[in-house]
Structure 1
Amino acid sequence: MPDHDLPQRPLRGRVKGRAARRGSTAALAAAVSAAVLALAGCGANPEEAEGVLNSQEPAGPGAAAQSKDQSLHDRLPGKVKQSGKLVSVNNGSFPPYEIAGADGRSLTGAAADMSEALGQVLGVKIEHVTVDGLPSSLTGIASGRYDFAIGPVGDFRDRQKANDFVDWVKEYVVFAVPAGNPDKIGSVADTCGLKISVMAGGSAESVIKGQSATCEKQGKPKITVQSYKDQPTSVLAVSSGRADAFFSSQAPLTYFVDQAGGKLELAGKGQANGFDDLYQGAVVAKDSPLRDVLRDGFQKLIENGTYDKIMDKWGTSDNKLDQAGVNLATS
């Protein structure tokens, strides 16, 4: 994944930018911390409560009730047809797709609505369990502890070695920064010498660490990478002044920016930022018979308009795919 050869601003200008914003850091933190902490309380990757699974609430107004597709139901693995349910694992901290309730059992968001509709099409209940971080989710799926994760989870070739991806979202990776973009971040190439928060174990963490190494090779200050287990804590680091920017997927960052009441903004939009085409989707174990059933289930929701309604409802219309796919990532 090549880096962009964009000009770097002198470090002196960046120091001046930081000093200029010190006086507003407290106001920024106060303005957004309440909303972010509320999200952190309901989606901060609590440790899994054994045996505590939640049946999905009926889909919201963005998703009409679906008819069972018997042909898809018949293709489900035998144990799923016998139990009448699929267990989906989540990290509980990826709004507007996944927003876990404070009780550790409920789930709302675009993925919650999508799973309700998908379950109706497949003729099974989709139940959810929250675990502590993405690595736990992927390991649990690969080992058969969970049937799948509806995600969306980033699809990358290295992850395809142990899991298959049923992609239903196209994503972009950008920055959430204080309003006015005081460090003038135009792309990932502008982050040398800055403090950047990321999700631990995610693809953005790998890219920003690689960019830090590039900065050092170029004789520039390295990036201070701050890795957190959940989205709310990562964005709170920016609002409190502990980090200069949060590097993550555009859809959830748009959600957090909207919640911040004008105190945050997006930066680096329209740039590759170290990524090729970025797809996200549901995750199943490698070569699972569930893979193609899920793909065809998603495709039915796309074709009957339900997918569009859910994506529009949650403000993710820019992330739509025309067709669900399997392992679309090429890098």
Structure 2
Amino acid sequence: MTALSLTACAAPEEKAAEPAAGANPSEVAVVKINDSPDQNRILPAKDDAIAALLPAKTAAAGKLIIGVGAAGSGFPPLAFAATDNKTLIGSEPDIAVAIAGVLGLEPVLENASWENLFIGLDSGKFDLGASNITVTEERKLKYDFVTYRLDNLAWLAKKGSGTTVTGPKDIAGKKVSVSSGTNQEKILVEWADEAEKQGLPKVEIKYYQTNQAVYLALGSGQIDLHLGPNPSAAYHVATTGQTEIVGTYSGAGKDLQGLIALTTKKDNGLIKAYSAALDKLIASGDYAKILDRWNLANEAVTKAEVNPPGLPIEGK
């Protein structure tokens, strides 16, 4: 599924940039993302019936402490620092803040390293982890999950490439980049091997150190495709207008749809409230508005799932 344009449903403070002189008016306009501290986030009204699902201790505290693993430069459009270099913005904070609104709690966003995010969940410092966390069977031993996004990879190409990628035959004979040591590299190698087994032209796999190098390679024709996380690809599509997503694929591989989930310490009594709040956001349309704002509509789920099947434990 091709990523949707941010233009139609962007937040009120965001708008499409003026097209360049001589530009084709039929082309999708580039979106100027609001990266200021003033985010004008969606904050729904409290739903008393859903708030009643909260444990008494959390309800009495009146706050939802949200851990986000975005230390350093962060990960646009998921979670990153605003122009003040401290306010957390992105789709993950937006979803978590909206959840807090439904529950009638004050959202408190706290930035952490990936490791400290889980330490905070373990200790109870964080009520909620909202940080692109994939559901795995190993993590389910310690945490409860409620799903809110598909975990997808994206095939990124130069805009106007005319390419569509649905299987190994579509990358045969092409130059494709991927980050070394990642799950997407494993998938790309499997696809390349399958294309070769079918007697198709060999896939040339290339590696670059940074996303910027990848984008330059796509623009200059040094590579035909890049396989990487859908969110970062969608962000580049929306904010530059130079690339397009020509296919998506589950981050868990061919046998399982990977899922991204809100995360909390196992059996702490919070997961039912989170699940009901997310379903309320989906029903109201606020959920779709948040994903559209960050160009992540192609990762939307239709309902919240509590502790669904996750990536299997290695060797089992």
> Same fold judged by TM-score > 0.5?
yes
Q: How far apart, in 1, do the equivalents of 2:207 and 2:103 lie? A: 42
Contact between 2:146 and 2:305, CA under 8 Å: does it hold in 1?
yes
- Structure 2 residue aligned with 1:18: none
Counterpart code for 1:163: Y
Aligned residue number for residue 82 of structure 1:
61
Quote the residue 1:161 is aligned against: 141
Q: Deviations over 1:235-276 (max 9, x none)?
A: x13123399454333344222112223x2222334x557343
1:284 positional shift: 1.6
Distance in 2 (CA, whole Å) between partners of 1:116 and 1:81 is 18
Give the alignment of 1:93-132 within 5 angstroms. Answer: 93-132=74-113
1:175-324 alignment, distance < 5 Å: 175-179=155-159, 186=165, 189=168, 190=171, 196-198=177-179, 205-209=182-186, 211-212=188-189, 223=205, 233-234=210-211, 236-241=212-217, 244=223, 245-261=225-241, 263-269=242-248, 271=249, 274-275=253-254, 276-324=256-304
Query: What pairs up with 1:9-20 in 2 under 5 angstroms?
Result: none
Distance 1:129 1:279, change over 3 A: same
Identity across aligned pairs (percent)? 19
Residues 179, 265 of structure 1: 8 Å contact kept: yes
Distance change (3 Å), C-alpha of 1:127 and 1:300? same
How far 1:120 moved relative to its partner? 1.9
- The residue aligned with 1:170 is 150
After superposition, the Cα gap between the structure-2 partners of 1:87 and 1:57, relative to the gap in structure 1 and judged at 3 Å, is farther
Question: Counterpart of 1:66?
Answer: 45
* Contact 1:73–1:81 (8 Å) recurs in 2: no
Do the aligned residues in 2 keep the contact of 1:278 with 1:329 (CA within 8 Å)? no
> Cα 1:196–1:128, aligned 2, differ >3 Å: closer, same or farther?
farther
| Cα distance in 1 between the residues matched to 2:268 and 2:180 | 28
* Structure number having the greater helix percentage: 1
Q: Distance in 2 between the 1:80 and 1:67 partners? A: 12
Per the alignment, in what secondary structure is the counterpart of residue 240 of structure 1? helix
Structure 2 CA distance for partners of 1:213 and 1:162, relative to 1, 3 Å:
farther
What do residues 292-312 of structure 1 show as CA deviations (whole Å, max 9, x unaligned)? Answer: 221111122223333233334
Q: Is the 8 A contact 1:98 1:108 kept in 2?
A: yes
Q: TM-score, with normalisation over the residues of structure 2?
A: 0.65
Aligned to 1:186, the other structure's residue is in SS state coil
- Secondary structure class of the residue paired with 1:155: coil
Assess, with a 3 A threshold, how the Cα gap between structure 1 residues 287 and 97 changes in structure 2: closer, same or farther.
same
Query: Match of 2:4?
Result: none
Q: Check the 8 A contact 2:77/2:90 in 1, yes or no.
A: yes
Task: Tell me, yes or no, if the aligned pair for 2:80 and 2:90 is still in contact at 8 Å.
Answer: yes
Distance 1:315 1:209, change over 3 A: closer
What is the CA-CA distance between 1:330 and the residue it aligns to?
4.5
Q: CA deviation at 1:168?
A: 1.4
- Give the AA of the match of 2:217: G
How many residues are treated as equivalent by the alignment? Answer: 264
Stretches of structure 2 that go unaligned for 5 or more consecutive residues are: 1-29, 312-316
TM-score, reference length from structure 1: 0.62
Task: Tell me how large the CA RMSD over aligned residues is.
Answer: 4.0
**CA shift in 2, pair 1:79/1:212, >3 Å:** same
> Given that residues 282 and 288 in structure 2 are in contact (C-alpha distance below 8 angstroms), is that contact kept between their aligned partners in structure 1?
yes
Following superposition, the deviation at residue 166 of structure 1 comes to 1.1
- 1:324 is displaced (CA, Å) by 1.0
Give the structure 1 partner of residue 3 of structure 2. Answer: none
Kindly state the Cα deviation for residue 119 of structure 1 after the two structures are TM-superposed: 1.4
